[in-house]
Amino acid sequence: MNEVERKVVSATKALLCSLVDSNALSAHQATDARMAISALDNQLAEDACDPAARGALKRSEVALAREMGSLLGPTSSAAPKRKWVAQSDQLVGAKLALEVFRETQDRSDITRETRVAEELRSFLIAYHEPVDPLISQGPRASYGAPSAVGNAESRVGVNRENLEALLHERFPEHKTTTVSAVNQLGGGYSKGTFMARLETPRGAETIILRQDRPGLPTGSSVMDEFVALQEVYKVGVRAPKPLWAEPEGAWFGPAVMAVGFCPGQPGRNFPTDRARREKWAFGLADAMAELHHLSRKPDLDVRDVMRAEIAGLRARLDAVEKTPHPGLEFGLTWLVAHLDDLKGRPACRTHGDLAYHNVLIENDEVTALLDWEFTRAGDPAEDLAYIRPFIEEFGLWDEYLRRYTERSGFTYEAAAGKYFRVFNAVRIAVCNVAVLNTFMRPDIKELALFVAGAILGPKFEIALLDAIIET
């Protein structure tokens, strides 16, 4: 940026901060303003980076890449097909990413892989710290999704008129139904979520609508989520009732699914006293145990599922990445090398994103599990590894695990837990790369996507390396 551009960005940020501090904005406007402030902060910090320091980092990378080669063992001569390979001499991280990706004879030596993860972590922190001073803390410092609610009708394809028209045409029982309000709910970056108020012949009714974002940044559509929701709801899992789904088309643009309203609020504000924390923890342990126990898949080899899942993540990364991600490359390779850590593990349906922001709580009771876009057949340890940091924050991990084991019949193994800590971070990092790529489309202007991709993405790359390093 030149001096004038820098002053314009700084002045815009100051104005937004003043508006937020004034409490004059609606909840939805305040959330959008905070997102914009985060994006402007990121750009100002990026602009302030010392080119000489970046140049020194690039020079140190060459030596580190040679060291990686000796640590990782022999590599094939074939260079991977990557959009940034031709620019490997200019892009910071490219030489490291090339060394990490290339096929090797063996990458499961714990001492060597820990050393590689530590070296990559130090390199990435040095690269990102000038822009994000908290990068070394990983994603936990940024946990928490916006909780704003705002009117959605002027900004999205889901609105009163087209929802009412669809109901009249598709459902005889709704021939005289009117839609009195449609409001967008905050939280989440991958789907739009809306609350609709219907006035039906039977009385007032509330439904929830989920809509795909253009480009499917997480690789999952609400059409897939709807089918999974039908399965889990049918067997008695605590989930919203699936109502109907409308594929991509004329009604709303991107695909939409509708589910029944469930009482409660997402569990973002953790209780402070132990008795309430126990109710939250044990309630979720019971709900997770119900899901896993009711969906057991005794004939499934988890390794086959994960092999396909990793290949899918690799394909998605290949399709969207524009810059090298050496930590992410190493994480994907590590997952393949450690597939046998899952040998003999049980299989069931997993949620895939089971944390308290996707759990409805009412009177300290768990009423429903939300957002099933990552659900699939898998290892129950995946959900346990995902929720563990939140339960540890309560100081109740051992108690949670005992409760879950008693009710599910499944046990938790340390090796599987570590595997899925790495996998969960890799998956979210790939999603964030895709989200940032989606933001670069000319028709997308939602700053939440920039914040997720540019700011949270590197944090999950650090998180996956931390998981590999941990014993």
DSSP readout, 353-404?
Answer: S-SGGGEEEETTEEEEE---TT-EEE-HHHHHHHHHHHHHHHT-HHHHHHHH
pLDDT single digits (tens) 184-215: 886 656 788 899 999 998 899 999 999 988 76
Structure tokens that stand for 418 in this block = 């570590």
What pLDDT is recorded for position 148?
36
Computed from CA positions of residues 411, 412, 414, 415, in that sequence, does the dihedral angle turn out positive or negative?
Answer: positive
Structure tokens that stand for 20 in this block = 């937020």
Extended beta strands in 161-255, E state = 178-185, 191-200, 203-212, 242-246
Taking the C-alpha atoms of 221, 232, 353 and 424 in order, what is their torsion angle to the nearest 10 degrees?
-90
Is residue 144 pLDDT above 50, yes or no?
Answer: no
What pLDDT is recorded for position 102?
66
**What pTM did the predictor assign?**
0.83
pLDDT single digits (tens) 111-137: 888 888 999 999 999 888 888 888 888
What pLDDT is recorded for position 107?
52
**DSSP states of 393-414 as a string?**
HHT-HHHHHHHHHHHH-----H
What pLDDT is recorded for position 147?
38
Residue 373 near residue 220 (C-beta atoms within 8 A):
yes
Strand order through the sheet with 149-151: 149-151, 178-185, 191-200, 203-212, 256-260, 242-246
What's the CA gap between 324 and 83, in Å, rounded?
9
What's the CA gap between 393 and 355, in Å, rounded?
12
Mean pLDDT to the nearest integer, 73-96: 70
What's the CA gap between 54 and 41, in Å, rounded?
19
Average pLDDT of the chain to the nearest whole number: 86
Q: 389 vs 142, 165, 384, CA distance in Å?
A: 14, 45, 9
Extended beta strands in 189-309, E state = 191-200, 203-212, 242-246, 256-260, 265-266
What's the CA gap between 131 and 228, in Å, rounded?
40
Higher pLDDT, 375 or 4: 375
What pLDDT is recorded for position 1?
80
Residues whose CB is less than 8 angstroms from the CB of residue 229 and which lie 6 or more positions away in sequence, other chains included: 239, 240, 242, 257, 259, 372
**Most trustworthy range by pLDDT among 57-61, 100-104, 169-173:** 169-173
Residues whose CB is less than 8 angstroms from the CB of residue 415 and which lie 6 or more positions away in sequence, other chains included: 341
Structure tokens that stand for 307 in this block = 């092999």
Residue 281 near residue 332 (C-beta atoms within 8 A):
no
Is residue 49 pLDDT above 90, yes or no?
Answer: no
What's the CA gap between 303 and 326, in Å, rounded?
24
**DSSP states of 60-77 as a string?**
HHHHHHHHHHHHH--B-S
What pLDDT is recorded for position 152?
39
Structure tokens that stand for 253 in this block = 């643009």
What pLDDT is recorded for position 291?
97
Which phi and psi (to 5°) does residue 339 adopt?
A: -60, -35
Residues whose CB is less than 8 angstroms from the CB of residue 25 and which lie 6 or more positions away in sequence, other chains included: 19, 33
Which phi and psi (to 5°) does residue 202 adopt?
A: -90, -5
Structure tokens that stand for 97 in this block = 């990413």
What's the CA gap between 402 and 405, in Å, rounded?
5
pLDDT single digits (tens) 416-466: 999 999 999 999 999 888 877 777 666 666 677 777 777 888 999 999 999
Q: Which of 205, 146, 213 is nearest to 178 (CA)?
A: 205
- How many C-beta atoms surround the C-beta of residue 326 within 10 A? 29
Q: Is 261 helix (H, G, I), strand (E, B) or coil?
A: coil
